C-alpha cells in the first residue's frame, strides 16, 4: 500500500489514480495521520465479498437473489391534521 500526504496527492493525483486502477491501495495522510484510503471499485466489491464470506458460510448472512425495487410509492393523503401541526399545538 502506498502512502501519500494531502499535498503530494494533490500534486501527483494522476499517478496515484493509475496505481489504484492497477489494484494498489493508497493511504492518504494529514500530517502523518491516516485519514482516508483510495481503492479501486473492483477491490471494494471483492473486499466486501471477502468480509461477508465467513458469515455466509455460517448461515448468518444471505445475499439477495434479485434486485431490490427502488421505486418509492407516492405519499398517502390521510384526513386530519398534519403531524407538524399537531406537534406545534402540543408544544404550546
Strands 26-30 and 33-38, sheet pairing:
antiparallel
Query: Could you tell me the pLDDT band of residue 33, with boundaries at 50, 70 and 90?
Result: very high
Q: What kind and span of H or E run contains 82? A: none
Residue 26 is placed in which grid cell?
Answer: 493508497
Joined together, the cell numbers standing for residue 70 give: 427502488
**Domains of the chain, CATH where assigned:** 2-57 (3.40.1620.10)
The four Cα atoms 85, 89, 91, 92 give a dihedral, to 10 degrees, of 140
Whole-structure pTM value: 0.48
The tens digit of pLDDT for each residue in 39-81 reads: 888 766 667 777 888 888 899 988 888 888 888 888 888 888 8
| Average pLDDT value for the chain | 88
Backbone φ, ψ for residue 47 (5° rounding): -65, -40
Amino acid at each position: 500500500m502506498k502512502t501519500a500526504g494531502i499535498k503530494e496527492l494533490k500534486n501527483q493525483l494522476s499517478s496515484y489514480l493509475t496505481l489504484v486502477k492497477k489494484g494498489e491501495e493508497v493511504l492518504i495522510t494529514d500530517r502523518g495521520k491516516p485519514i482516508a484510503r483510495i481503492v479501486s471499485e473492483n477491490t471494494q466489491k471483492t473486499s466486501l465479498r471477502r468480509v461477508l464470506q465467513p458469515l455466509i458460510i455460517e448461515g448468518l448472512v444471505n445475499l439477495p437473489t434479485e434486485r431490490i425495487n427502488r421505486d418509492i410509492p407516492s405519499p398517502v393523503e390521510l384526513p386530519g391534521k398534519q403531524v407538524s401541526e399537531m406537534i406545534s399545538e402540543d408544544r404550546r
